[in-house]
Structure 1
């Protein structure tokens, strides 16, 4: 069992934790599915036009990949309490984290939203969710940035992960951006985030794809998803 307090991130914490940590590992939790069913009025939306952000919903056969952080210092928990709970409407639970290589399994604190909080939006057709994400922004930036940076993190650091909900939304949002002729750089805030992953958690086999990935993206938010052509034709991209 790992010593210290660990936090599991599956949304913006993956690419923008905002607090000090000793180290981080990529991996997954079981028994959940990631869904963009939580509304947000303080970070990625407003009271008049709430954005959509990720939460975890119970799914006995589900696996959600993300990033676990070993907390450093005393400032992290109050920061997360305000960011996730006070402003975001989330609550905290304990579950078990499994490292990517399968050698580690330890308790983590996870922030989730339920249908009992005031910001809950719930299930909706994916095209409707994509349209809402494309139209909303808040004090922390555009809702598009939240979605695409999360998808990019998954493609780059956890290429073996399958998340149909997340990746379908990524495709639909990119298609809508193209359809509306929107400026992607403006939507992304024209900024970069440094992602530090612990060295011993990096899979050497990932390096085989580095050249290919670098050709596909000229910057971190222009990743071209490797989606089967049949899927793309169905979505009329």
Structure 2
């Protein structure tokens, strides 16, 4: 199944135009610099795109009341993962670590004691994101938490194009399952990161470390594109 249901050009999100509009109205120099750097056009073939896999670990699941505790970044293309340019930060969260969150991501109170704040890593984070299409597994976490953290700091959110490997996997399995099976409420395959990777024979990694999960997400997108799409597929058919 190669690009079974392509998105018409008129339905692709125009992030180029959006970035120009955001650059014109932002009041903050770091955000202006990020938006002015721009992003590739929606029609750009995916094999010509610079990606940045991203994962954030948090103190909970509600971006309004919880906060980021670590960020992992892994730049890559469809041909190469650039491990030497990876970035990883443990942050001092604005909300308390709970016993449940420590069990989940294994970041302890001792590790965050002298950790930088989100404000201290925002500029290098934006520098790493410049000109790249962000890749995540479940965009509601990264978008919501980065947007809320920037809003708290600057009174202005952060917007960026995202390819969601979880969404791509869900799209695949909806097509495979078919309307009759959905009507009969047959269970769908798990689209969690580890389970999705296993279907492409990718190795199992220890979960919930931001940098490891960023690497895992980069590898998953490479496998999804190699298996299910063509190198000439416009990036705008995959991003949100």
Comparing both chains, which one has the higher relative contact order based on Cα–Cα distances under 8 Å and sequence gaps of 6 or more? 2
Determine which structure has more spread, i.e. the larger CA radius of gyration. 2
User: What TM-score do the two structures reach when normalised by structure 1?
Assistant: 0.27
User: What TM-score do the two structures reach when normalised by structure 2?
Assistant: 0.27
